[in-house]
Amino acid sequence: MDAWVLWLIAAGILLVFEMMTLTFYLLWLSLGAAVAAIVALVVPDAYILQVVAGCVVAIVLTIFTKPLSRKFRSSSKGFEDAGTELIGRQGVVVEPIEEGQFGIVKIGGDTWSATSARSLKKDELVRVLKRSSTILEVERWEDFT
């Protein structure tokens, strides 16, 4: 089998792995392997030149696109957790909350497990102080206002 075919297969495999990881590093290696395939097609017996060309392309792309990818990551807010918008919102106690125990609080149309430093009765208004995983920490609404 010709060397250019092997380089092309390597480029394809790296591209498939890049699609699964979305890191961009494997993309640059894939493009380096594609360049090595082109060099192997033009100069079939220069194996060292194929490897060097592929490595140079991969390294140059990695170095020069790192600031660009960092800029894209910092400029986009990305995924924001829906639970962070709950902090400060008002809710109502559905199941009473005892000190050290969990209860249920309804905020908007969603119900959440909640805890509080004070006992809270059913139908009391509460404000969300913070969220940790799926449990909210709340306080009586009157304590807030």
pLDDT score for 75: 62
| Confidence grade of residue 99 (pLDDT, cut at 50, 70, 90) | confident
Task: Please tell me the predicted confidence (pLDDT) of residue 79.
Answer: 53
Give yes or no: residues 69 and 101 share one domain.
no
- Mark whether 31 and 15 lie in a shared domain: yes
Give me the percent of the chain exceeding a pLDDT of 90.
52
Q: How confident is the model over 2-21, as a mean pLDDT?
A: 93
pLDDT average, residue stretch 89-107: 91
Domain of 41, in residue numbers: 3-75
pLDDT of residue 73: 62
As for how many domains the chain has, the answer is: 2
**pLDDT digits over 43-77, tens only?**
999 999 999 999 999 999 988 887 777 776 666 55
Assign residue 106 the CATH number of its domain: 2.40.50.140
Same domain as 69, residue 7: yes
Q: Looking at 75, 98, 128, which one is the last position of a domain?
A: 75
64 and 110 housed in the same domain = no
Same domain assignment for residues 65 and 91: no
Residues 6+ apart with CB under 8 A from 105: 91, 92, 93, 94, 97, 111, 112, 113, 114, 126, 128, 136, 138
Q: Note the pLDDT tens digit of each residue in 16-46.
A: 998 888 777 889 999 999 999 999 999 999 9
Among 75, 103, 135, give the residue marking a domain's end: 75
Pairing state of beta strands 125-132 and 90-95?
antiparallel
Whole-angstrom distance, CA of residue 27 vs CA of residue 45: 26
DSSP lists the bridge partners of residue 128 as 138
The neighbour count for residue 39, using CB atoms within 10 Å, is 22
